[in-house]
Structure 1
Amino acid sequence: MSVSLKYAVVERERRYLLATLPEGVTSSSEILDRYVTGTRLRLREVRENDGTVIRKLGHKVRLTEGPAEVACTNFYLNDAEWTALLALPARLLRKKRHLIHRDGLVVAIDEHEDGTLVAEIDDRESPSDFVPEWLDVVRDVSNDEDWTGARLARSS
């Protein structure tokens, strides 16, 4: 079956396990991901520091072997839709996302409940292997299935 990209955004993400959170965080938000059991669907609630809450339903389809390149489609949800979908069985992942805008890059660093730090760099249309020296990289986990959100999520 071919994958239609008509409404999808292609993500080409590299992920790195970090030893420390770099300086220069420009914003942070709290994220609750609910990976719906038996599907490629994810419910996401983002709580910004200013009190804004964004809720969406995401669908991810892999374009290559491994997790590095996916087509992602999102639908923004109102309160009634969010509440209805919460009844679906899911695995949960809570994290704090820190954004750093530096050297022409936007780097998202997820701080997990256990303190683990995972940096994500989305290469968009220009694949690269450039890693800024200010990232204290322990290991490249871009193609490691164990470091995908769905794998890190826990039973609710």
Structure 2
Amino acid sequence: MSVSLKYAVVERERRWLVRRIPEGVSSTKDIVDRYVTGTRLRLREVREADGTVVRKLGQKVRLSDGPAEVACTNLYLDDAEWAVLAALPSRVLRKRRHMIHRDGLLVVVDEHEDGSLVAEIDDGDQPAHEIPGWLEVVRDVSEDESWTGASLAKS
């Protein structure tokens, strides 16, 4: 079955395990992702530092064999919609996201509950930038399925 990507945004993400959170964090937010069992759907709740909460339902459709290129579609949810959908069986991933704007790049570093740090750059439609030297890379996990959010989520 072919899926229409009319309303989707294409993400071309490069991800790395890193040793530490780099200097220059401009903002931090707490994220809880719920991967709905048996689907490609994810419920995401984002809590900003100022207390603002954003909730959305997302779907990711892979555009290639690996996890690095996906088409994402999101719907923003009110409290009633969130309550209904959050009751569905799901696996949960909690993380703190650190946003770093440096050298003309936006790099996000997700700090997981187990202490692992995963840095991500979304190149969109632009050519891939070099990995910034200040990002202390342990290894590239862009094509490693075990480092996707859905794989890291727990029952």
**TM-score interval w.r.t. the shorter chain?**
over 0.9
Aligned-residue RMSD, C-alpha? 0.8
2:17 aligned with 1:17: yes
Contact 1:12 1:127 in 2 (8 A): no
Contact 1:10 1:71 in 2 (8 A): yes
Letter aligned with residue 74 of structure 1: N
Task: Provide, for residues 63-118 of structure 1, a one-character-per-residue CA deviation record: whole Å limited to 9, x for no partner.
Answer: 00110000000000000000000111000000000000011100010000011100
2:136 equivalent in structure 1:
136
In the comparison of the two structures, how many residue pairs are matched?
A: 155
* Ranges of 4+ aligned residues in structure 1 off by more than 2 Å: none
2:111 aligned with 1:111: yes
Q: Give unpaired runs (5+ residues) of structure 2.
A: none
1:5 equivalent in structure 2:
5
Give 3-state SS (helix, strand or coil) of 1:146's partner: helix
Q: Distance in 2 between matches of 1:103 and 1:65?
A: 31
TM-score by length of 2: 0.98
Residue identity (%): 74
1:94 equivalent in structure 2:
94
Give 3-state SS (helix, strand or coil) of 2:95's partner: strand
- 1:2 Cα deviation after fit: 2.8
Letter aligned with residue 153 of structure 1: A
Q: Distance in 2 between matches of 1:118 and 1:129?
A: 17
2:146 equivalent in structure 1:
146
- 1:43 Cα deviation after fit: 0.2
- 1:6 Cα deviation after fit: 0.8
- 1:129 Cα deviation after fit: 5.1
1:27 equivalent in structure 2:
27
Give 3-state SS (helix, strand or coil) of 1:154's partner: coil
TM-score by length of 1: 0.97
2:37 aligned with 1:37: yes
1:52 equivalent in structure 2:
52
Q: Distance in 1 between matches of 2:91 and 2:127?
A: 31
Letter aligned with residue 3 of structure 1: V
